[in-house]
Amino acid sequence: MASNRGVVYMGPGKVEVQDISFPDLVLRDGPGVNPLNVGRKCDHGVILKVVTTNICGSDQHMVRGRTTAPPGLVLGHEITGEVIEVGRDVEFIKKGDLVSVPFNIACGRCRNCKEQNTHVCLNVNPDRPGSAYGYVDMGGWVGGQSEYVMVPYADFQLLAFPDKDQAMEKILDLTMLSDIFPTGYHGAVSAGVRPGSTVYVAGAGPVGLAAAHSAQLLGASVVIVGDLNPARLEQARSFGCETINLSEHDNLGEQIEHILGVPEVDCAIDCVGFEAHGHGRDHSEAPATVLNSIMEITRAAGRLGIPGLYVTGDPGAVDEEAKVGTLKIRIGLGWAKAHTFVTGQTPVMRYHRELMMAILHGKAQIAKAVNATKISLDEAPKAYNDFDKGAARKYVIDPHGLVK
């Protein structure tokens, strides 16, 4: 049996690179695997040699101990790899294909998948609609921050790159297709960004930067990014965004007025989620801050894209209500301003092909926007620690040393 290694969550604040089982076309029992998923045969799946796999802010929530993730969970839902084995029911994906894996696991057969709502597939997670690799309460599908991984429903899900050599030249861009580029783009589309729009993006982490770049691609006239981290704001400015340092200013509308001449924007995107902090020099965790602030500064009849993660279980929350995802949101304000809210996981397959074409033909430079930084598998624990401290980087793990 071939060997395999992966990044494993060991408990709050701790990840390790460990020997893990080599994947086969069956979902075996293990940490976080729903009992009803144990033994699922995946002859419709493939085994990938992982070429790149990225560290995501959603992973960081688990590593901080802010979810109910069990120790022993193999992490990683942003996966790009080479097909080395195909199941007997796979017809169109071939051995040797270089493919992007949507982080949503989707069967392609249920009503939601047929309606392009692959983020809430009905057949892959016995707990609730929707699933992902290496993530808490998502059915237990093994994560891809590893050397090898199994991917089910290959013909439906996988995006094969048309030319492997061309793809490897742009792999630091293409690796973002599994999650953060479509996620940022979905946030911008959900917010109604169009040519001439003024846009506020809450959060300058990788998803926020991807949302800002996506807003630019969609024709926004001004993209304003707010964050508490000066280094991340500098990264946003590097590709033409206006920025607001929220650790120095607690009146967001006033700062937007300094930039635009009016204290509101056409569209807003929440790329922070449930670990949000308040604004100002003495800021502390206040999980409804972003949602309430973007309602305040978005024009009447505007739209709010909310790709930032919100959870139903947060053992480290600031109060008992927040521990079950109940936040003090000013829904009356949103109602009065006739806002449209779009939440939930991103349906990656709705966007990944067009974004791939934008990358391959030089229209999108997402790796530059998010400061893609290649590391080895063994460097992953340090990268998690640096990311937790606010590093203005998107860490891309190269398990086999294949990336130039």
Whether CATH 3.40.50.720 fits 180-343:
yes
Q: Identify which of 265, 266, 286, 283 has the alpha carbon closest to the alpha carbon of residue 275.
A: 286
Distances (CA, A) of 351 to 2, 357, 366: 35, 10, 14
d(CA 40, CA 46): 14
Average per-residue pLDDT for the chain = 97
CATH number of 5-179+347-397: 3.90.180.10
> Start-end ranges of CATH 3.40.50.720 in the chain?
180-343
Mean pLDDT calculated for residue range 101-119:
98
Name the pLDDT band for 118 (thresholds 50, 70, 90): very high
**Predicted TM-score (pTM) of this structure:** 0.97
| pLDDT above 70 coverage of the chain, percent | 100
pLDDT in tens, 146-169: 999 999 999 999 999 999 999 999
> Start-end ranges of CATH 3.90.180.10 in the chain?
5-179+347-397
pLDDT score at 282 = 87
Sign of the CA dihedral with 126 first, then 128, 134, and 136 last: negative
pLDDT score at 1 = 58
